[in-house]
Every structure is written in C-alpha cells, then in structure tokens.
Amino acid sequence: MAAARTRYALYYWPTIQGRGEFVRLALEEAGAPYDDIARQHGAGKGVPAMLALMKTARRAPFAPPFLRAGRSLVAQTASILQFLGPRLGLVPAGEAERLWAHQIQLTIADFLIEVHDTHHPIAVSLYYEDQRAEALRRTGHFLKERVPKHLGWLEQAVGTGRYALGARVSYVDLSVFQVVEGMRYAFPRTMKRMERKLPRLVAIHDRVAERPNVAAYLASPRRIAFNEMGIFRRYPELET
C-alpha cells in the first residue's frame, strides 16, 4: 500500500462540520495524515486558498468538500469516501460490497440535502429567518414522512452484523454515526421517540463513538461543535 503514505489535503469550510465531517471522520478513524487546509494559516492555506483552487484547478470542483491526494483532486463527499475507502482500509475488498457501500453513502447524501433544506427550503442565499414560515412547513413533512422513510431504510441497509458491511468498520459506519449525532442535535425530541425503532443504527453509532481514534478525535479541538451554520441546526421552533 504505497498510497498509505500519502498526506491528504482536505478542503472544507473551517467553522462547520457539514459534509466535510464525513471525510474528517474517515481520515481520523484511519489515523491518516492530513491537513484541514481552510482551518490553517499561511501560504496556500485558509479559505482564500480553497476558493482560489476552485477557480484555478484544471478540473475544478463545484463546491467543498474536496480532497487532494497526490495528483488526484476529488470532490463530492460520497466520491471522496469511495476514493478513500480502499486506501484507508475503510471498505471491504469485493466489488459488490463497494457498490453497496457507495449506494448507502449516496442515499445518505440525499438525506443530508433534505436535512439542510428543512432550514433552507427556499434559497441558500437567504437567511433562515427570511424563510422561516416555509421552513416550518417543510420540516413538519420532513419529520413525519421523510425521516422515518430514510432512517427506516438505513436501519435495514446496515444489516444485522457488527458493522454495516460486516465485522469490520467502514466509512458507512462513520457516516451512520454522524447522521445519528446530527439528528440528535437538530431534532432531539424526534430522535428520542424514534430511536427504539432504530436499534442497529444506534448500536453502530455507539460502537463508532468508542473506537479509540474516533473518541480521541471527538475529544480534540479538531472536532468542531454543531452550530447554526451547518447542515444539522437546532431551531427548536421547527420541531413541533
């Protein structure tokens, strides 16, 4: 595994977990050396460097997160994880398993868009406060219809093994952890009610949280706290 010596450069917004967190968790669990570029200072670092790369790169990404690995520049969270999985030992070897892992990750990506749009149902360019009425309406449907559908599917998708793809942890499990964490933060009452129907997701969440590298990461300053700038936001008025 020559690639194991690669030092990765992650480009993502410095003040939120957001989609970048799914990549951070993979790098941290694997103990991979990486720079969280936009959170660092100096030449070639910081948000300006990230934005510059989006303008000048030959195959410029549409949006963060994106990852530099040697000569590769990979964007789209699910694609980054598909790329990193084999390199970090975070996905099984078989093509069928890798397809399934990617499919689950892509469905999580769709869910994240729906989570985001609970507080931004009209436009990303508007403040939440300027689309609160629509947010209330959308979130009502989201909590009643979409969360049971998405998390119910995910509960089945992760199967009955120790982890989603069997005995060993994969990037899918790290993402399950993050989804459970995020949903608990944003919609605590809904999750309290719903978690008894999601025992596998909760079990995977707990197992991931206890993994030494993840636990060390979560306790470190590298883990940004949830806040009202990210995907998962706690606006209590939305959860009625």
Least CB distance to its own copies at residue 105 (A): 9
Tokens 């706690």, located at residue: 234
- Kindly identify the residues of this chain, within the stretch 100-119, that bind its own copies according to CB under 8 A: 100, 102-103, 106-107, 110, 113, 117
DSSP string, 82-130: HHHHHHHT-S-SSHHHHHHHHHHHHHHHHHHHHHHHHH-SS-TTS-GGG
Size of the site for its own copies (CB under 8 A): 38
Question: For residue 34, what is the enclosing H or E element?
Answer: strand 34-36
**Sign (positive/negative) of CA torsion 173, 69, 96, 153?**
positive
**Which CB atom, from 126 or from 216, has the smaller least distance to its own copies?**
126
* 14, 46, 61, 89: which one binds its own copies (CB under 8 A): 61
* 3, 51, 52, 60: which one binds its own copies (CB under 8 A): 60
Distance between CA atoms of residues 35 and 55, nearest Å: 20
The yes or no reply on residue 153 touching its own copies (CB under 8 A) is: yes
Beta bridge partners of residue 72, listed in sequence order = 69
**Which CB atom, from 131 or from 213, has the smaller least distance to its own copies?**
131
Phi-psi region of 10 (alpha: psi -120 to 50; beta: other; left: phi over 0): beta
**Which CB atom, from 187 or from 214, has the smaller least distance to its own copies?**
187
The yes or no reply on residue 213 touching its own copies (CB under 8 A) is: no
Using CB under 8 A, list all residues that contact its own copies: 59-62, 71-72, 74-76, 78-79, 83, 96, 99-100, 102-103, 106-107, 110, 113, 117, 121-126, 134, 137-138, 141-142, 145, 150, 153, 156-157
